[in-house]
Amino acid sequence: MLIVMNHTASQADIDKVIEVVSGMGFTAAPIPGGERTAIGVLGNKGYVDDSTIRDLPGVQQAIHVSKPYKLVSRDFHPDNTIVDVAGVKIGEGERPVVVGGPCAVESEEQILKTARFVKQCGADLLRGGAFKPRTGPHTFQGLREEGLKLLAKARAATGLPIVTEVMSPDNVALVAEYADLLQVGARNMQNFDLLRELGRIRKPILLKRGMSATIEEFLAAAEYILAEGNDQVILCERGIRTFETATRNTLDLAMVPLVKELTHLPVMVDPSHATGKRSLVTPMSKAALVAGAHGVLVEVHPEPEKALSDGPQSLTFPGFEALMADLRRLQQCLACCDIAP
């Protein structure tokens, strides 16, 4: 940490800061400058809570150099983590995966039909929501356990591992019984009780970025899961909230190569939620893979115009088939031309 003093701070102010820093067990190294003094804080082995310092007299700013995460950091763990979802490997060096399926599980017919179709097109995993977070209470909230059972049937029918959301700590055991990959939704990225609970199970986790989460907060949220002992975590970009309303969210695709510099965990992209618009899903899926994503999550529905949620961003069956053909050709291209994403 670096503590920046005001232009007008007195020597007594500086001495007081040095004393407080020393009292915390660190070393304080004053750096007198032309206009003001700065004080380096040395000897800390991780993130220091700056509350004790920022409001001492004469302090202008406390600047963090350490990050609020360590286990997820590539700085301390250079090797890539490969996450294994019931045999499907996800991460650097592996073939990028496609997760397909409806926003919500609505009926046995709907989920089985979709599962068979996405399997036939070459998808690697099946997604489908049984517990649905919805903005208002007066809309469809998911089939809950019944939905989980239908997902299990779809897995039995197709062999596709299943991905589904868990919304609350007391449902973790239940969802883990059925799911191969447990998803934490954007709204729950900082539901810390949920994250800790997921850190204690032995199933992989798909952690979606919060709508207004910085990359630092996103990695710190993953740290909660790793801190409890579960390192099988996939990060998923799904768009952030900005002033732009022409798309549902703003897909922050540059985070993919950036996050890969910062962490060893795999990174996936959900272009359906990020854009909210069917016609943008295919171009953004391709862009995501070229940018280095380890996979994409795409919403597909047999009849999007009858979907109980997120219809406009769901691909139709022909749309998904075309997407898969496109992605297959793109991957072959990239492979044969030897273009590292």
- Give the Å distances, CA to CA, from 70 to 45, 66, 190, 234: 10, 9, 17, 16
Q: Does 25 bind a copy of itself (CB under 8 A)?
A: no
Q: In this complex, which beta carbon is closest to a copy of itself, that of residue 85 or of residue 297?
A: 297
Q: Cα(295)–Cα(263) distance, rounded to whole angstroms? A: 16
Nearest Cα to Cα of residue 127 among 277, 279, 314, 304: 314
Q: In this complex, which beta carbon is closest to a copy of itself, that of residue 84 or of residue 217?
A: 217
Q: Cα(99)–Cα(89) distance, rounded to whole angstroms? A: 13
In the set 15, 109, 146, 193, which binds a copy of itself (CB under 8 A)? 193
User: Is residue 225 within a helix (H) or strand (E), and if so which, with residue range?
Assistant: helix 215-227
In the set 18, 152, 176, 290, which binds a copy of itself (CB under 8 A)? 290
In the set 10, 12, 15, 76, which binds a copy of itself (CB under 8 A)? 76
- Residue 111 contacts residue 117 (beta carbons within 8 Å): no
Q: Does 220 bind a copy of itself (CB under 8 A)?
A: yes
In the complex, what is the shortest distance from the CB of residue 32 to a copy of itself, in angstroms, rounded to a whole number?
7
In the set 89, 152, 311, 321, which binds a copy of itself (CB under 8 A)? 311
- What is the three-class DSSP state of 320? helix
In the set 12, 65, 156, 173, which binds a copy of itself (CB under 8 A)? 65
Compute CA 23 distance to the chain's CA centroid, rounded to the nearest angstrom. Answer: 38
In the set 10, 19, 22, 54, which binds a copy of itself (CB under 8 A)? 54
Q: Does 308 bind a copy of itself (CB under 8 A)?
A: yes
Q: Cα(139)–Cα(103) distance, rounded to whole angstroms? A: 14
Q: Does 144 bind a copy of itself (CB under 8 A)?
A: no
Q: Cα(13)–Cα(26) distance, rounded to whole angstroms? A: 18
Helix axes 108-121, 145-158, angle to 10 degrees: 40
Q: Does 251 bind a copy of itself (CB under 8 A)?
A: yes
φ, ψ dihedrals at 220, nearest 5°: -65, -30
Measured on CA atoms in the order 128, 296, 249, 277, is the torsion positive or negative? Answer: negative
Q: Cα(145)–Cα(152) distance, rounded to whole angstroms? A: 11
Q: How far apart are the first and last CA of the chain?
A: 35
Q: Does 187 bind a copy of itself (CB under 8 A)?
A: yes
Mark the segment that binds a copy of itself (CB under 8 A) among 107-115, 120-128, 133-141, 157-165.
133-141
In the complex, what is the shortest distance from the CB of residue 135 to a copy of itself, in angstroms, rounded to a whole number?
5
Binding track over 78-117 against a copy of itself, x by CB under 8 A: ----------------------------------------
Q: In this complex, which beta carbon is closest to a copy of itself, that of residue 35 or of residue 79?
A: 35
Q: In this complex, which beta carbon is closest to a copy of itself, that of residue 159 or of residue 283?
A: 283
Q: Does 10 bind a copy of itself (CB under 8 A)?
A: no
Mark the segment that binds a copy of itself (CB under 8 A) among 88-96, 151-159, 200-208, 210-218.
210-218
